[in-house]
Structure 1
């Protein structure tokens, strides 16, 4: 029995396995094993039976569906020795190796940059798969503690009200979700957090991945805030008066000296991961990704829920592996607009399962109905500490978010 057959046998024998290991049907060579795995992923979280799998397979493709007898025979081949994690890891490695060979041949034939770039990504992924896992010994935790004791840069300061709730600021190993409805201010807060962290933490490095807006649109928000020029005027810089034009150019010139980059290409999750790995600086790096629903995955066959699961899983793993903070912006569902108080809740996160589950911190934004300059940042989930609401001031004309007076620094 080969590895593909052995793993599928375990999936059929024990439904819980599918929720305990990382698995993608694309890793399988066999089309029938791909279909069975897809069906198991579809039924994940339910106590599915062999009959359920057969029914779903038959509904999708009645002509090439395996019989119940064939499925039973396959299931009976499971050994139940807990090797499914290693089998999945082996399939993943073999899959990446096949892609490396394929892209190498394409690049050798065409010399096209797109194949070269894809090959670099795959080799990076292959290197990650080969990385030795931790031993689990407490000695590792002791070493981490000793390293953290050597520096006062364990936490990254931002807004006073937010930092108080977070226990002092952002830290490495955190996936932070900022959720809001459109036009509430999540993009502005993401940009402002990047600037705050750069300004208040010597040696910090930040990157903004903007999948919704172009680089200039993001930069113009920074210019508006720092030059105190109405953001609307920056839609047509040609019409700026000489004084404002000079101030705006100085802001952009100064921004070049700061360790921040703005990426606006059509990034897949693998592109983002690869770029972050090249730029990451342990404990002193923050990436802001705007926003979750626009990130593409390599396998276009995945539905929105499974694609988002892959995105949050990879970003969360990256925060742990590199000891960095990633802030992922997300759009809340329309459901909250039907509630009288319009106060967002964790359940309002679209496809909230993986967003809420994988996040260390979830911040939900809302405006005060009586004063649109008041922005509430409800820290509704905080694995490392307390929850609470931070009160901020939003000035739309300058695309600026500041602390309230009691938190001014």
Structure 2
């Protein structure tokens, strides 16, 4: 059985790729139905990704243009060179229907995913020690998630959407702060109604302003208070550091003492209890290196397929790479920004990404950050649904009468008002606190 070749149709794959290089309109059809990973032959997936990239950049998609693009990327030789591309074009029948062949490729890919899901189910069953437990539920979810439902997507009549839209309004009406994912920072939740499915949220600030703190605090509240699964991709801290921060926030034991191990017996008891609560929380942490955007997206999709994610936190943007060569860092950041936005939409959950601000505010009398201080790319401002800028007066003026207040500035809110709200910063415990409402 292990010698069986997974279902595939190389001829259909060839016709799809050849059609895309012959007809620009064929690209628009294929992009709605296929992904690079749907192709059985790896070289075909590479070619498909290159054609889609050219199409997205509004560049020609003919075989000469794609050969040049693949050459620049260093992929031309491994896909068979210009001769290989020409063979794909030659494989297209005179009256080829791109829709039919794309459907064939997608169906074969779905069957392969079902086979893979079946293998995972069998493995889970062997590892269950004969106990049924939640195995049926996991198996059902694996099979359901194995089949790509993009064939169901596309233009939909508004009559099919009205009930869902009214349900969302009713949920917000009955839920106080709204139907979004709450952060536990009440002033922020009141101002935004919570983070919404599919939103890209940027939390930005200069070093020491609490970007990472807000991301982890939001994840902690979602996972531990709302019991919804979150994923944290940390490119700066180790998973141990993230856990130390959670323990500090939960126990009111200074993070510096936890890191140094300067703990009393009573402190150790508190941390042990906090650790037990964290262990029971639906929190996923990935600190592996390198964490490129494609790796983050793939792992988030895989986690979401197993159990839906309510929130994804990425810390932080400037440390992410795309995994391929870019002309400059601005182009790379633009690609990352667009990729994060697409990931949020695909998963149907908010993605919070921390970002560093440039030094422009250091030269201003008023140190409060502005939207224009986002580093490296205007695409960040364009793609984000919500941009939160963090500012603490006491960082620049230790004698400020505002003490540990932190300004949470809503510099952009696609579906709401901009402005600022105030929270408390207890960074010795790595947390935000809610201030009394006046």
Shared fold (TM-score, shorter chain, > 0.5): yes
1:344-359 maps to which residues of 2 (within 5 A)? Answer: 345=371, 348=374, 353=379, 359=384
TM-score of the pair, normalised by structure 1: 0.68
From 176, 186, 198, give the equivalent of 2:211. 186
CA contact (8 A) 1:179 1:330 kept: yes
Q: Residue 108 of structure 2 aligns with which residue?
A: 94
Q: CA deviation at 1:208?
A: 4.4
Aligned residues: CA RMSD: 5.0
From 265, 269, 286, give the equivalent of 2:297. 269
* Distance 1:71-1:56 versus aligned 2 partners, 3 A rule: farther
Distance 2:325 2:105 in 1: 19
Q: Residue 389 of structure 1 aligns with which residue?
A: 420
Q: Report the secondary structure of 2:424's partner residue.
A: strand
Q: Report the secondary structure of 1:263's partner residue.
A: strand
Deviation string, structure 1 residues 77-112 (Cα, Å, up to 9, x no partner) = 79798x56x765654553454576689899999x99
Q: Residue 313 of structure 1 aligns with which residue?
A: 342
Distance 1:127 1:16 in 2: 23
Q: Residue 149 of structure 2 aligns with which residue?
A: 129
Q: CA deviation at 1:399?
A: 1.1
Matched, 1:340 2:363: yes
1:24-43 maps to which residues of 2 (within 5 A)? Answer: 24-28=35-39, 36-43=47-54
* Distance 1:222-1:98 versus aligned 2 partners, 3 A rule: closer
Distance 2:94 2:397 in 1: 62
Deviation string, structure 1 residues 108-160 (Cα, Å, up to 9, x no partner) = 99x999xxxxx999866532437844882434333224544367232454324
* Distance 1:62-1:247 versus aligned 2 partners, 3 A rule: closer
CA contact (8 A) 1:331 1:350 kept: no
Distance 1:25 1:124 in 2: 21
Q: Residue 161 of structure 2 aligns with which residue?
A: 141
Q: Residue 15 of structure 2 aligns with which residue?
A: 5
Structure 2 segments unaligned to the other structure (5+ residues): 1-10, 128-138, 289-294, 327-331, 399-403
Q: Residue 45 of structure 1 aligns with which residue?
A: 57
1:7-406 maps to which residues of 2 (within 5 A)? Answer: 7-14=17-24, 17=27, 21=31, 24-28=35-39, 36-43=47-54, 44-48=56-60, 50=62, 52-57=65-70, 60=74, 61=76, 65-66=81-82, 70=86, 90-95=104-109, 97-98=111-112, 125-129=145-149, 132-133=152-153, 136-145=156-165, 147-148=167-168, 149=170, 152-153=174-175, 154-157=179-182, 158-166=184-192, 168-196=193-221, 203-212=226-235, 213-237=237-261, 239-253=262-276, 259-264=281-286, 266=288, 268-280=296-308, 285-291=310-316, 310=339, 312-319=341-348, 325-332=349-356, 335-336=358-359, 340-341=363-364, 343=369, 345=371, 348=374, 353=379, 359-368=384-393, 370-371=396-397, 373-406=404-437
* Distance 1:287-1:345 versus aligned 2 partners, 3 A rule: same
* Distance 1:145-1:241 versus aligned 2 partners, 3 A rule: same
Q: Residue 130 of structure 2 aligns with which residue?
A: none
Distance 2:187 2:77 in 1: 59
Q: Residue 322 of structure 1 aligns with which residue?
A: none
Distance 1:121 1:144 in 2: 23
CA contact (8 A) 1:93 1:126 kept: no
Q: Report the secondary structure of 2:31's partner residue.
A: coil
Distance 2:247 2:408 in 1: 24
Q: CA deviation at 1:226?
A: 3.5
Q: Which of 11-20 and 139-148 deviates more?
A: 11-20
Q: CA deviation at 1:224?
A: 2.1
* Distance 1:254-1:190 versus aligned 2 partners, 3 A rule: same
Distance 1:58 1:208 in 2: 37
Structure 1 segments unaligned to the other structure (5+ residues): 114-118, 320-324
CA contact (8 A) 2:142 2:306 kept: no
Distance 1:363 1:96 in 2: 40
Q: Report the secondary structure of 1:328's partner residue.
A: strand
Deviation string, structure 1 residues 189-222 (Cα, Å, up to 9, x no partner) = 11222345578x7x55353424344444223223
CA contact (8 A) 2:187 2:434 kept: yes
* Distance 1:181-1:397 versus aligned 2 partners, 3 A rule: same
* Distance 1:211-1:147 versus aligned 2 partners, 3 A rule: same
